[in-house]
Chain A
């Protein structure tokens, strides 16, 4: 009887996804900073560090093209905040409690929440790539490479969004989710974002950058822009994004289960 009245998982996910998209589009503060801040930093780094291309061994490319992967990751970090803050807000205002009274399934809730994040991720990818191309960068992997770049950037946004979901569900606090932002930012700066790993002369920094998963995400994106097709870099990029996504989603599922029991 219950199954006859319970909407299919896909239908539930569609409603929640639509809610997530509408909610995202209604908040310019959620859309504008993730677009503007990364582009501003890209402009500063591309110009301020252009002399770095004179370092012996630096890839034969402009610093703009080298740094173009940076905003994609920075934008994904914003996705963490968006996803987490939205969930925390739902918990705070009682929306979760009301959902718990419905036959809504956990996976559809998570999928729905991630849809808003993917929407922002798509807008970001288009804006960053367009800005980079307009400023003179080229995609060495061509048009197909640009599509793979979009796919990888969305995978990264989904992975970071899942971390945000976990944080939001676990803590139920927007402030706690906001506290993740500096930590994620530190991960970004302690990676190979500004120089190739083999050109980092500081041993401790090179070691940290090597064990930092963000380095492989950046290098996967960057390979399409400045090298062309680099199967190893792409496999590592997609692999690390998938691993983060699976682990974070698993943790978010557990946190959701616990949250629904508590309510």
Chain B
């Protein structure tokens, strides 16, 4: 891989790729993407315990926040219709973000075992390898959302929005998942070891926890009120809650914030991939 990063090798590679018919290139790309995604999903089918951490954590946070803090929903100034739903939206978006990061663990583990390097040697367009991990991460996150949503409904959560608004909420979660995945991929392609997992988790944890988690922004006090104002996750969480309540508010802003983060992190992941290729 290393020798291909010389300018001559890159030109030759670009010439070969450009001479290949477009449909053939696309078909190869999808083939690699599907293979990597299926490999990751198959691992979960063979060892369902792998799904436990991404499933248990959102459920546990939902129980702990919605159950333990439900009295907070009766505070003066707390104008959301249901505290369970208020917390559910945060937990959904949190699981979306961590779903993107959990697949980063797989990338790190595959780097540790040397498997990712072999995959990259075999693939013509190596971004297909990373995209395959991303698709697997999204499918795994969607499974978690179905379970968490089912349990929240079964335990009495009220839904204020209609199907389209819920679709918007799920759309937001998808964009957050993709953005978090790009971040995880960017970190893992640079550091190329599972031991770098905290470098993925900590920044994400900080951006999530400094959004309005427990109460709406108007009830926040102190430093977190100032941080929440400039945290892009605030717009996403608030728009998600408004969609859940059936009263959409700043939804475009939220999608723009999430898509903007995803675009920036795509560049981060892309450059990480180039670094991984250069490292060989």
Contacts and interface: CB of A to CB of B under 8 A. Distances in A.
Interface of A: 40-41, 43-44, 46-52, 54-55, 182, 186, 189-190, 193-195, 199-202, 204-205, 209
B75 A189 contact: no
Q: Is the interface of A mostly helix, strand, loop or mixed?
A: helix
B279 interface: no
A49 B69 CA distance: 10
Given A48-B212, A182-B56, A202 B68 contact: yes
Contacts of B224: 43-44, 47-48
B68 A182 contact: no
B209 A50 contact: no
Contacts of A194: 68-69
A200 B71 contact: yes
A195 B214 CA distance: 12
Contact of B214 (A48, A54, A205): A48
Interface residues of B, number: 33
Nearest to A193: B68
Contact of B75 (A51, A186, A190, A202): A51
B14 interface: no
A229 to B, nearest CB: 27
**8 closest A-B pairs (Cβ-Cβ)?**
A205-B67, A47-B224, A189-B64, A47-B222, A51-B219, A202-B67, A50-B221, A201-B71
Contacts of B215: 48-49, 51
Given A194-B69, A204-B67, A54 B75 contact: yes
Contacts of B67: 200, 202, 204-205
B60 interface: yes
Interface in B7-35: none
Contacts of A182: 53, 56-57, 60
Contact of B71 (A40, A43, A195): A195
Nearest to A54: B75
A55 B78 CA distance: 12
A199 B71 contact: yes
Interface in B210-237: 210, 212-215, 219-225
Contact of A47 (B70, B78, B223): B223
Contacts of B75: 51-52, 54-55
Given A44-B224, A51-B77, A190-B64, 8 more contacts: A40-B209, A41-B209, A47-B224, A51-B72, A51-B221, A195-B71, A200-B70, A200-B71
B60 A186 contact: yes
Nearest to B213: A48
A252 B224 CA distance: 43
Interface string B59-90: 01101101111111011111000000000000
